[in-house]
């Protein structure tokens, strides 16, 4: 399916000049402003987007248009766009203007995508509900009394409501896949190193990845083609060839080996979600795939290991926000008092909680008990996946244990909130690619997401499997 068709127009219309890119942008902006109540955007680039669209229309007429001409994209507000605020939804960076583009943004613009604006998120991407933003919570597009997931909730809502064709998010422990699942869109966390992190405000650098959300798998593939590849400004970006990721789903999955891990079907899993995922497995089997039981025995330790590592990283990475060189600052008589007051008032409660826990984890006498142990568990989680992929090509699981929960239901219990990521964090610890695609709805009509894991740098198989299921499941 043409990537633009689900929004009422096609690429052919643009290139035949039946429709202009400016018309497309006007329509997307109209949808955006009609649903400002959802609080998905923190900044909208109305005039800038229209100027860019007119320039792309000129390129189309001259036969020089890039591969994403006509595609509108939103950018999560922890990813830098030159000349615009990068707030991370925090008072600490409320007025910070980025002097440069993130590499992923730079590559999108070079491919003639139109950046529409910056989306809301949990403060510093620390959350699973998009409720912890100083600009207010993001609301679920189908039921505003519920959360859209997090931390890339604004990006997911922007895609789900047709405000944009695609969006960039960041995924440290599930922050692309979980909101994609809750909002009924597709979301991809690439292999660690596939996409440059340059211009992404660091949360946990050994887990962070920029990735796309979109209304369909084809759009994910289009964006991934553009933003992937080695970047000399990011030492962790991998020097691995970027394939032509498939834009069309295969006609069959003959010979595909699909893994089902019992550890991802615990008692806390909603029966409706478990049934929807197993139905997808049956669809694959009927189309020629073979389904196998695999074991990921250390999956139960992934959440505590992930939070130990990520909170330790948080303590280190957020030390730069001290009120000295940029960002929020409180005046005081002494340097120590200035730093203390700036950080106390500049950070929200969840961010401060993670900084303090991370500092404790790294403190002398405790780092061996917590941080070192967590890193050992991380290696075991990665080894589990490696051994499973010797037997299967992909592993399918639920994306989340429940569908979208009510606003405020989990803000008072951090552990309960952490469990929203129970099925996603393993992919970040192992550094492998993972995708969430819709696979049904619960009795309330709320979307259910199916997660697919693949071996490192095998996004091609991931996208083929996801595209096939998207076509078959409708």
What pLDDT digit, counting tens, does each position of 425-470 carry? 999 999 999 999 999 999 999 999 999 999 999 999 999 999 999 9
Is there a domain that residue 323 lies in?
Answer: no
Read off the CATH number of the domain in which 20 is found.
3.90.1300.10
| The pTM of the whole model exceeds 0.85 | yes
Q: How confident is the model at residue 5 (pLDDT cuts 50, 70, 90)?
A: low
Cα–Cα distance, 289 to 23 (Å, whole number): 43
Q: Which pLDDT tens digit goes with each residue over 184-211? A: 999 999 999 999 999 999 999 999 999 9
Is there a domain that residue 368 lies in?
Answer: no
Q: How far is CA 337 from CA 51, 306, 344, 348, in A?
A: 46, 33, 10, 18
- 115 vs 18, residue with greater confidence: 115
Is there a domain that residue 364 lies in?
Answer: no
Structural domain boundaries enclosing 76: 1-315+377-474
Is there a domain that residue 116 lies in?
Answer: yes
Res. 403: pLDDT tops 60: yes
Cα–Cα distance, 351 to 127 (Å, whole number): 9
Res. 3: pLDDT tops 50: no
Give residue 1's pLDDT.
Answer: 38
Q: Which pLDDT tens digit goes with each residue over 205-259? A: 999 999 999 999 999 999 999 999 999 999 999 999 999 999 999 999 999 999 9
Res. 278: pLDDT tops 90: yes
Give residue 150's pLDDT.
Answer: 96
Give residue 4's pLDDT.
Answer: 55
Active-site residue numbers? Answer: 76, 151, 175
Cα–Cα distance, 440 to 403 (Å, whole number): 11
Res. 64: pLDDT tops 70: yes
Task: Indicate the Cα dihedral angle 154, 217, 171, 403, nearest 10°.
Answer: 60
Cα–Cα distance, 37 to 192 (Å, whole number): 35
Mean pLDDT of 162-191: 98
Express as a percent the part of the chain with pLDDT over 70.
98
Express as a percent the part of the chain with pLDDT over 90.
92
Q: Give me the numbers of helices (H) and strands (E) for the chain, helices first please.
A: 15, 11
Other beta carbons within 10 angstroms of residue 384's beta carbon come to 22
Mean pLDDT of 110-120: 98
Determine phi and psi for 452, rounding to 5 degrees. Answer: -125, 130
Q: Which pLDDT tens digit goes with each residue over 342-380? A: 999 999 999 999 999 999 999 988 888 899 999 999 999
Is there a domain that residue 336 lies in?
Answer: no
Determine phi and psi for 358, rounding to 5 degrees. Answer: -65, -40
Q: How confident is the model at residue 8 (pLDDT cuts 50, 70, 90)?
A: low
Contact 197, 208 (CB under 8 A): yes
Cα–Cα distance, 129 to 149 (Å, whole number): 4
Is there a domain that residue 328 lies in?
Answer: no
Q: Which of 318, 381, 343, 322 is nearest to 125 (CA)?
A: 318
Mean pLDDT of 390-398: 98
> Could you give the number of structural domains in the chain?
1
Ranges assigned E (strand) in 203-362: 209-214, 257-261, 290-294
Strand partners, 176: none
């Amino acid at each position: 399916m043409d990537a633009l068709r689900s929004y009422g127009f096609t690429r052919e219309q643009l290139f035949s000049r039946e429709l202009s890119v400016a018309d497309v942008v006007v329509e997307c902006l109209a949808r955006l402003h009609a649903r400002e109540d959802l609080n998905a955007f923190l900044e909208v680039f109305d005039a800038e987007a229209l100027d860019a669209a007119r320039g792309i229309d000129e390129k189309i007429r001259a036969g020089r248009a890039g591969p994403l001409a006509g595609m509108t994209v939103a950018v999560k507000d922890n990813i830098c766009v030159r000349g615009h605020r990068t707030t991370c939804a925090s008072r600490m960076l409320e007025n910070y203007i980025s002097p440069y583009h993130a590499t992923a943004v730079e590559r999108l613009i070079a491919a003639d995508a139109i950046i529409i604006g910056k989306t809301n998120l949990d403060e510093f991407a620390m959350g699973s509900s998009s409720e912890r933003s100083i600009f207010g919570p993001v609301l679920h597009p189908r039921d505003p009394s519920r959360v859209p997931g997090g931390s890339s909730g604004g990006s997911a809502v922007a895609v789900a409501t047709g405000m944009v064709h695609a969006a960039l998010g960041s995924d440290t422990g599930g922050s692309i896949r979980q909101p994609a699942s809750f909002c009924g869109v597709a979301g991809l966390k690439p292999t660690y190193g596939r996409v440059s992190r340059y211009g992404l405000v660091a949360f946990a650098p050994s887990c962070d990845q920029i990735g796309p959300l979109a209304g369909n798998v084809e759009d994910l593939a289009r964006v991934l083609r553009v933003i992937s590849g080695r970047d000399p400004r990011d030492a962790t970006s991998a020097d691995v060839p970027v394939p032509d990721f498939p834009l069309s789903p295969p006609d069959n999955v003959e010979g595909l080996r699909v893994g089902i891990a019992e550890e991802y079907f615990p008692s806390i899993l909603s029966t409706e979600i478990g049934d929807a995922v197993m139905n997808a497995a049956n669809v694959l089997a009927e189309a020629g795939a073979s389904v196998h039981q695999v074991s990921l025995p250390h999956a139960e330790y992934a959440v505590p290991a992930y939070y130990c590592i990520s909170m330790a990283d948080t303590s280190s990475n957020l030390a730069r926000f001290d009120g000295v060189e940029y960002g929020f600052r409180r005046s005081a008589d002494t340097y120590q008092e200035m730093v203390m007051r700036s950080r106390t008032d500049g950070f929200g409660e969840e961010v401060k909680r993670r900084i303090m826990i991370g500092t404790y984890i790294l403190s002398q006498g405790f780092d061996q008990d917590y941080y070192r142990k967590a890193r050992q568990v991380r290696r075991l989680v990665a080894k589990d996946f490696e051994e499973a992929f010797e037997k299967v090509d992909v592993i399918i699981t639920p994306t989340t244990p429940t569908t979208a929960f009510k606003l405020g239901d989990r803000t008072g219990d951090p552990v309960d909130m952490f469990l929203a990521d129970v099925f996603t964090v393993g992919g970040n610890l192992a550094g492998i690619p993972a995708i969430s695609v819709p696979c049904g709805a619960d009795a309330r009509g709320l979307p259910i997401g199916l997660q697919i894991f693949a071996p490192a740098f095998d996004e091609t198989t991931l996208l083929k499997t996801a595209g096939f299921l998207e076509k078959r499941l409708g």
